[in-house]
């Protein structure tokens, strides 16, 4: 029997997606407690919020980035360069950090963006001179 060298990576979005549920709001202290529990459970990546859009999320990502030592702290950003730069600032204190990006796609008008345009929007930072 051959040895399986594949690792399962656990990516938790409880704090970001959880607040999308009607009536659910978490404050910084609650998110710190949750992130510490997730880290204690061995969760690999903890997505805290959407700091490029919400100041509250920026503050939470920034503060949790200073506390968590073993898990990777992650935030969400669209492919908009300003959101990515803001997120990079929010995760700067983290020992391990990740930027989770997405590109909005309108399925009714799929032909509006070519594959190259979508890739270019994500590769912006490979061509950028701006350093965070």
Structure-block tokens of residue 66: 């200073």
Report the pLDDT value the prediction gives residue 20, as an integer from 0 to 100. 84
Q: Are 86 and 52 in contact (CB under 8 A)?
A: yes
Question: CA-to-CA distance for 127 and 84, rounded, in angstroms?
Answer: 14
Domains within the chain, CATH numbers bracketed = 11-127 (3.20.20.70)
Report the pLDDT value the prediction gives residue 127, as an integer from 0 to 100. 44
Which pLDDT tens digit goes with each residue over 59-110? 999 999 999 999 999 999 998 999 999 999 999 999 999 999 998 776 565 5
% of the chain at pLDDT higher than 70: 78
Question: Which pTM value belongs to this model?
Answer: 0.78
Q: Residue 121 burial (CB < 10 Å; 0-12/13-18/19+)?
A: middle
What is the pLDDT of the chain when averaged over all its residues? 86
Which pLDDT tens digit goes with each residue over 103-130? 877 656 555 666 676 666 555 554 443 3
């Amino acid at each position: 029997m051959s040895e399986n060298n594949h690792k399962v990576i656990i990516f938790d979005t409880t704090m970001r997606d959880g607040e999308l549920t009607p009536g659910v709001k978490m404050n910084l202290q609650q998110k710190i407690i949750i992130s510490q529990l997730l880290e204690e459970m061995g969760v690999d990546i903890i997505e805290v919020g959407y700091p490029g859009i919400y100041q509250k999320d920026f503050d939470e990502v920034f503060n949790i980035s200073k506390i968590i030592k073993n898990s990777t702290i992650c935030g969400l950003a669209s492919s908009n360069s300003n959101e990515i730069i803001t997120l990079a600032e929010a995760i700067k204190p983290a020992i391990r950090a990740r930027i989770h990006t997405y590109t909005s796609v309108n399925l009714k008008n799929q032909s509006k963006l070519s594959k190259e345009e979508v890739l270019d929007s994500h590769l912006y930072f490979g061509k950028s001179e701006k350093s965070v």
